Amino acid sequence: MSEAAATAGAGDIVLSAQALVMRFGGITATNKVTLDLKQGARHALIGPNGAGKTTLINLLTGVLQPTAGRIILNGQDITQLAPHQRVRLGLVRTFQINQLFDTLTPLETLAMTASQQQGLGGKWWQALGARKSVVERCEQLLEQFRLTDVMAQETRMLAYGKRRLLEIAIALACEPRVLLLDEPVAGVPAGEREELLQTVAALPADVSILLIEHDMDLVFSFANRMTVLVNGMVLTEGDPDTIAHDQQVKAVYLGHGDEINEALAVANHEGADHG
């Protein structure tokens, strides 16, 4: 743990991974990973392919049970809780693209999620007709995620970027306190990227976010804190400026394309400001 994290006190830490270990047979995908997410964080988790980023998200969300270590959410040990129990406590990840309901529209999908969230179970069609709160929440989310113009189209007809926007909208409809985003812009065509980047940048400030992303433009425009994972271990953690100047980090990314080095060069010139 860094000195800053050690002296910050536990009060503003919403999610804490403590010495997490995940072994698959002989592979140690997660090797004593400790990571604290602060209230309102814009925290990026970066690292080369196979570093263990998705495995860590799977541990945090309960898809995987760790071989060792603990996960603390708002002071509560959630290590043994099922994924849906963690969602109820406000720990939400973006839904994978193949988990969207293809034959429902964005409006229907969001109404289903929002009505479930408001304790109305699966009766979203009734909720949509009768519950002002559900309708209002759906309208708000459709607007925020620029889905209003396609809200009545079947999800399978949507452009890829719109589907990814819908994924994040669904996660927000679960009213998260902590949001885990696993590569939100991966595979999105250049023409649709900007809309997604702007939407991610405009996520509510009080939601604490851990972002996994290979796109260094997004990482450096988004994050105020970064953890670098390599071979299942935390290589280093720091603010974007520190990470941008870290020789070890640069070395890790050498030979993996110069994307990070370009982004690092930009970060060196511009700081970590948006734009």
Ligand X SMILES: Nc1ncnc2c1ncn2[C@@H]1O[C@H](COP(=O)(O)OP(=O)(O)OP(=O)(O)O)[C@@H](O)[C@H]1O
Residues of this chain that bind Mg ion (CB under 5 A)? 53-54
* Piece in contact with ligand X (CB under 6 A), picked from 49-57, 94-102, 125-133, 155-163: 49-57
* Piece in contact with ligand X (CB under 6 A), picked from 5-13, 45-53, 70-78, 100-108: 45-53
Nearer to ligand X, 16 or 227 (CB): 227
Question: Could you say which DSSP state residue 246 is in?
Answer: -
Smallest distance, ligand X to C-beta of residue 54, A: 3
Smallest distance, ligand X to C-beta of residue 212, A: 7
Residue 223 structure tokens: 């994050």
Question: Could you say which DSSP state residue 65 is in?
Answer: -
Question: Could you say which DSSP state residue 109 is in?
Answer: H
Extract long-range pairs of 195-199: CB within 8 Å, 24+ residues apart: 195/146, 195/161, 195/165, 196/161, 196/164, 196/165, 197/221, 199/144, 199/145, 199/146, 199/165, 199/168
For residues 247 and 258, the answer to whether their CB atoms sit within 8 Å is no
Q: Is 20 in the site for ligand X (CB under 6 A)?
A: no
Q: Are strands 42-46 and 225-230 parallel, antiparallel or unpaired?
A: parallel
* Piece in contact with ligand X (CB under 6 A), picked from 42-50, 103-111, 122-130, 143-151: 42-50
Q: What ranges make up the beta strands (E) of the chain?
A: 13-24, 27-38, 42-46, 68-73, 76-77, 91-93, 178-182, 208-212, 225-230, 233-238
Q: Is 184 in the site for ligand X (CB under 6 A)?
A: no
Q: Is 160 in the site for ligand X (CB under 6 A)?
A: no
Q: Is 55 in the site for ligand X (CB under 6 A)?
A: yes
Smallest distance, Mg ion to C-beta of residue 52, A: 8
Q: Is 47 in the site for ligand X (CB under 6 A)?
A: yes
47 binds, among ligand X, Mg ion, none (CB under 5 to 8 A by kind): ligand X
Q: Is 54 in the site for ligand X (CB under 6 A)?
A: yes
Q: Which three-class secondary structure state does DSSP give residue 228? A: strand
Q: Identity (one letter) of the amino acid at 150?
A: V
Q: Is 74 in the site for ligand X (CB under 6 A)?
A: no
Select from 42, 43, 53, 162 the one that contacts ligand X (CB under 6 A).
Answer: 53
* Residue 25, phi-psi category: left (phi > 0), alpha (psi -120 to 50), beta (remainder): left
Nearer to ligand X, 25 or 275 (CB): 25
Burial class (CB in 10 A: 0-12, 13-18, 19+), 107: buried
Nearer to ligand X, 24 or 125 (CB): 24
Restricted to residues 22-41, the positions that interact with ligand X (CB under 6 A) are 24, 27, 29
Nearer to ligand X, 36 or 213 (CB): 213
Restricted to residues 94-123, the positions that interact with ligand X (CB under 6 A) are none
Q: Is 63 in the site for ligand X (CB under 6 A)?
A: no
* Residue 135, phi-psi category: left (phi > 0), alpha (psi -120 to 50), beta (remainder): alpha
The tally of CA atoms less than 13 A away on the side-chain side of residue 67 is 14
Nearer to ligand X, 51 or 100 (CB): 51
Nearer to Mg ion, 54 or 67 (CB): 54
Q: Site residues (CB under 6 A) for ligand X?
A: 24, 27, 29, 47, 49-55
